[in-house]
Amino acid sequence: MFRAIAVLFLTFPLSALALVPPDYQEPPSDFTAEIEAGFQLNTGNTESSSFNGRTKLVYDTEKTKQEGTVKAYFAADDEKTTSEKYDVQLQSSYKLSGGFDGYVFGRGDFTLDRYGSYTQISTVSTGYGFDAISDHSTKLSLEVGPGYRYNMPIETEAEPDPQANRDVILRTAVKFEQKLQEYTSLNADLTAEAGEDNSTLTLDMSYKNTLFQDWAFKIGVNIKYTDVVPEGTKQTDTITTFNLLYTFQ
């Protein structure tokens, strides 16, 4: 009896290995996710250093692409909280057929910033985008379309009870990704929102270096310029982050 069990135990693993080729790899998945956290430096309307976190989810199929990003920033000095900001970005794209890499999209950007020049920012937009370059090492996408933006200014001594600003905008975006080497890459997103009452320009850059397997070290810089800001606040906000990033798919 013992000899029969031993023969079955030894035979089964060998049979299972015979069914799986030595160079077998899991098929590519339509779903990818990035989770990162780390250290940040703030300049502009806030001067402090602390921690931040970011999660990005992407579901990319043959016909559609769904993207969602959540960012959280929190900073405090020896006395009090100096920065508390939350960003949510959602985009749904439908890929057009006809032999070109074009797509139409709907997008929403939402920000709660306790110490920013605007404490609440909500932007919804739609439009057309296309992949100008898309190969193994370089990707370049361009987007343009109309939108609507809601801004709530921060309370100041000059304006203790501010009124929200509502503006129709034209949003344009350039998304660039360059693979420098096998384990390093550079990303840069430039977004402009032009409105009758106010305009913004945002540059989001990052450098990623893979450490091992799915872990990477990432340096990021986010610079946002706002043309019209409440009195006593600055037009330019800069956030620099140093994060450890994990990617799974």
Q: Let me know if residue 6 belongs to a domain.
A: no
Model confidence pLDDT, tens digit, residues 125-135: 999 999 999 89
> What 8-state DSSP symbol labels residue 4?
H
What are 108's strand-pairing partners?
A: 90, 124
Q: Let me know if residue 35 belongs to a domain.
A: no
Q: Let me know if residue 134 belongs to a domain.
A: yes
- Domain region containing 114: 41-248
Which candidate, 184, 218, 224, places its Cα nearest to that of 204? 224
Q: Let me know if residue 34 belongs to a domain.
A: no
Model confidence pLDDT, tens digit, residues 201-231: 999 999 999 998 899 999 999 999 999 999 8
pLDDT exceeds 90 at position 191: yes
The CA R_g of the chain, rounded to the nearest whole Å, is 23
Q: Which residue has the higher pLDDT, 133 or 8?
A: 133
Q: Let me know if residue 103 belongs to a domain.
A: yes
What CATH number does residue 162 fall under? 2.40.160.40
pLDDT exceeds 60 at position 17: no
Q: How many other CB atoms sit within 10 Å of the CB of residue 213?
A: 8
Cα(68)–Cα(86) distance, integer angstroms: 14
Q: Let me know if residue 8 belongs to a domain.
A: no
List the alpha helices (DSSP H) in the chain: 2-19
Model confidence pLDDT, tens digit, residues 95-137: 998 656 799 999 999 999 998 999 999 999 999 999 999 898 9
Q: What is the mean pLDDT of residues 151-165?
A: 90
**Per-residue burial over 8-32, b = 16 or more CB atoms within 10 Å of its CB, e = otherwise:** eeeeeeeeeeeeeeeeeeeeeeeee
Kindly indicate the confidence band of residue 9, based on its pLDDT and cuts at 50, 70 and 90. very low
Cα(227)–Cα(219) distance, integer angstroms: 27
Q: Let me know if residue 21 belongs to a domain.
A: no
What pLDDT, on a 0 to 100 scale, did the predictor assign at position 44? 77
Q: Let me know if residue 119 belongs to a domain.
A: yes
Q: What is the mean pLDDT of residues 10-24?
A: 47
**Count of domains for the chain:** 1
